[in-house]
């Protein structure tokens, strides 16, 4: 139990560092997080982390969507909007 708490705290610290690094380079932080996740998954001996998918949808996804909504560029949104008119 004690080792898993330390492992999660180390992962959380790593996430904070990656987000700060992404802000410094002005790159979207999800890119860094995905690359770090891939890198961590390739390290042998790392304990497997199992999370129920419903927990992801209830706890992690809503804040991410909320934050993304605040930083959405509406000019780009309307520029890249696909035409929804279908003529048959």
Which position has the token pair 């992801």? 56
Question: Which one has a higher pLDDT value, 20 or 64?
Answer: 20
Check residue 88 and give its pLDDT. Answer: 46
Q: And the tokens for 30?
A: 């999800």
Question: Which one has a higher pLDDT value, 44 or 76?
Answer: 44
The residues, ordered by sequence, that sit 6+ positions from 6 with a Cβ below 8 Å of its Cβ are: none
Per-residue model confidence as pLDDT tens digits over 6-19: 877 887 788 888 88
* Start-end of H helices in the chain: 2-25, 29-41, 53-55, 61-70, 74-79
Per-residue model confidence as pLDDT tens digits over 2-50: 666 787 788 778 888 888 888 898 888 788 888 888 888 898 987 777 7
């Amino acid at each position: 139990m004690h080792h898993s708490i330390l492992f999660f705290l180390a992962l959380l610290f790593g996430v904070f560092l990656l987000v700060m690094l992404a802000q410094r380079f002005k790159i979207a932080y999800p890119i860094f997080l995905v690359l770090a996740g891939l890198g961590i998954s390739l390290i042998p001996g790392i304990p497997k982390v199992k999370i129920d998918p419903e927990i992801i949808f209830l706890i992690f996804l809503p804040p991410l969507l909320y934050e993304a909504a605040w930083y959405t560029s509406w000019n780009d949104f309307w520029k890249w909007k696909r035409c929804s008119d279908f003529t048959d």
